[in-house]
């Protein structure tokens, strides 16, 4: 895909991976619709990007937001070519301690909201005859570690829908991908008493800019090449 002047929606753009991907796609000349709850961070990001960006602040678990994002892309920039469906949270812990309500809120953000945006994006892109949907899964969308089962389950759910949508997209001009990061240096793991970097003895984590470069690589493949899954992890992450 030639990225210049194409339009991408990025969820979770106020921080971490979403921010890294926003910078990489803006450097490739794409116009962006940025969303997350923290408007100030989105405004600051939009102000420093080299291309145009529209900010739509909101809670991605609001059922009305996914359609609003697609409408904003089309009304502001004329199309919706890429959806980077990325916002997510991580709640982990032992059964005796884990906050069940927080687990259920995680399911709403990591599964319900991701499903809503993915399905609406598919409808739009299939009608359009082109587009690229990337859902952020995780290495934990492919395996479970003790205490991470509820989070991993949300990512397994993302993997299942992504694989189905990939099959539905075949022959339509639309491509669908699950992005599976290993440990990336963001705020996602801030709640761990011992950061996984230390417990897994990883010297250097993947950076959000590395994920940005990876997403750009996927999008820049020619029309006949799909990258349905991509696992990106620190070189010294053993599991």
Ligand X SMILES: NC(=O)c1ccc[n+]([C@@H]2O[C@H](COP(=O)([O-])OP(=O)(O)OC[C@H]3O[C@@H](n4cnc5c(N)ncnc54)[C@H](OP(=O)(O)O)[C@@H]3O)[C@@H](O)[C@H]2O)c1
CA dist 57 and 40 (Å) reads 9
Would you say 126 or 145 has its CB closer to ligand X? 145
Q: Which of 136, 148, 162, 214 binds ligand X (CB under 6 A)?
A: 136
- Contact flag: residue 85 with ligand X (CB under 6 A): no
Tokens coding 2: 């030639």
- Contact flag: residue 15 with ligand X (CB under 6 A): yes
- Contact flag: residue 60 with ligand X (CB under 6 A): yes
Report, in Å, the least distance between residue 184 CB and ligand X.
4
Give the interface segment with ligand X, choosing from 34-42, 66-74, 142-150, 218-226 (CB under 6 A): 34-42
- Contact flag: residue 14 with ligand X (CB under 6 A): yes
- Contact flag: residue 9 with ligand X (CB under 6 A): no
- 3-state helix, strand and coil shares in percent for the chain, rounded to the nearest 5: 45, 15, 40
- Contact flag: residue 133 with ligand X (CB under 6 A): no
Would you say 87 or 161 has its CB closer to ligand X? 87
232 and 178 Cβ atoms separated by less than 8 Å: no
227 and 177 Cβ atoms separated by less than 8 Å: yes
Q: Which of 16, 153, 212, 234 binds ligand X (CB under 6 A)?
A: 16
Q: Helix (H, G, I), strand (E, B), or coil: what is residue 98? A: coil
Q: Which of 86, 148, 162, 214 binds ligand X (CB under 6 A)?
A: 86
Is 151 designated active site? yes
Q: Of 115, 132, 151, 156, which one is the catalytic site residue?
A: 151
The answer to whether the Cα torsion of 55, 138, 64, 128 is positive or negative is: positive
- Which of 22, 35, 88, 105 has the alpha carbon at shortest distance from 64? 35
Q: Which of 6, 7, 12, 176 binds ligand X (CB under 6 A)?
A: 12
26 and 3 Cβ atoms separated by less than 8 Å: no
C-alpha gyration radius of the chain = 17
Tokens coding 145: 């570690």
Interface mask toward ligand X for 154-193; x: CB under 6 A: ---------------------------x-xx-xxx-----
CA dist 29 and 16 (Å) reads 20
- Which of 32, 103, 105, 112 has the alpha carbon at shortest distance from 66? 112
Binding site for ligand X (CB under 6 A): 12-18, 36-38, 59-61, 86-90, 109, 136, 138, 181, 183-184, 186-188
Catalytically active residues are 151
């Amino acid at each position: 895909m030639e990225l210049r002047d194409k339009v991408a929606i990025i969820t979770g753009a106020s921080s971490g991976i979403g921010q890294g991907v926003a910078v990489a796609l803006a450097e490739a000349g794409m116009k962006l619709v940025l969303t997350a709850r923290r408007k100030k961070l989105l405004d600051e990001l939009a102000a420093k990007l080299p291309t145009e960006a529209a900010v739509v602040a909101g809670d991605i678990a609001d059922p009305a937001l996914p359609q609003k994002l697609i409408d904003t892309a089309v009304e502001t920039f004329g199309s919706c070519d890429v959806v980077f469906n990325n916002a997510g949270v991580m709640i982990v812990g032992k059964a005796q301690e884990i906050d069940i309500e927080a687990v259920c809120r995680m399911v709403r953000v990591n599964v319900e909201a991701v499903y809503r945006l993915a399905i609406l994006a598919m409808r739009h892109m299939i009608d359009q005859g082109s587009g690229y949907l990337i859902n952020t899964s995780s290495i934990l969308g492919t395996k479970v570690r003790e205490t991470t089962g509820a989070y991993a389950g949300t990512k397994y759910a993302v993997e299942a829908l992504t694989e189905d949508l990939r099959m539905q997209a075949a022959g339509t001009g639309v491509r669908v991908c699950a992005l599976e990061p290993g440990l990336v240096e963001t705020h996602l793991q801030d709640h761990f008493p011992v950061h996984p970097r230390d417990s897994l003895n990883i010297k250097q984590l993947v950076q959000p800019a590395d994920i940005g470069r990876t997403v750009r690589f996927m999008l820049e493949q020619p029309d006949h090449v799909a990258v349905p899954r991509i696992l990106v992890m620190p070189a010294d992450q053993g599991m």
